[in-house]
Amino acid sequence: MTEVTYNQFRSLHKGTPQIKISKLWKKYKDGKYKLPKKSTPAEEITVPVGVVEVNIKPGVDESYGTEDDKVVIRKVGTVEKATKKPKKAKKAELSPMDKCTEYERLSNTLSRFSFKFNETETKKVLDRISELAKDTRPEGYVCEPTDSWKLWLGPTENCLLINTTRGVAFKVSRGWWQKHYQTTIYVDRELLNNTQLIDDTAKAFALTGKYLPRSPVVGVECKLPQTVKDIQMRGGFAGDR
Torsion of CA 27, 31, 37, 41, to 10 degrees: 30
Under DSSP, is residue 66 helix (H, G, I), strand (E, B) or coil? Answer: coil
Q: Give the end-to-end CA distance of the chain in Å, rounded to a whole number.
A: 115
Confidence (pLDDT) at 43: 60
Confidence (pLDDT) at 119: 92
What is the residue extent of each domain of the chain?
1-38, 39-74, 94-136, 139-241
Confidence (pLDDT) at 241: 36
Confidence (pLDDT) at 45: 59
Quote the DSSP letter at residue 179.
H
Percentages of the chain per state (helix, strand, coil), in multiples of 5: 35, 15, 50
Confidence (pLDDT) at 31: 83
Residues 20-54: tens digit of each pLDDT: 888 888 888 888 888 877 655 556 656 565 556 66
Confidence (pLDDT) at 63: 53
pTM of the model: 0.59
Under DSSP, is residue 46 helix (H, G, I), strand (E, B) or coil? Answer: strand
Instruction: State which residues of the chain have pLDDT below 70.
Output: 1-2, 38-84, 89, 232-241
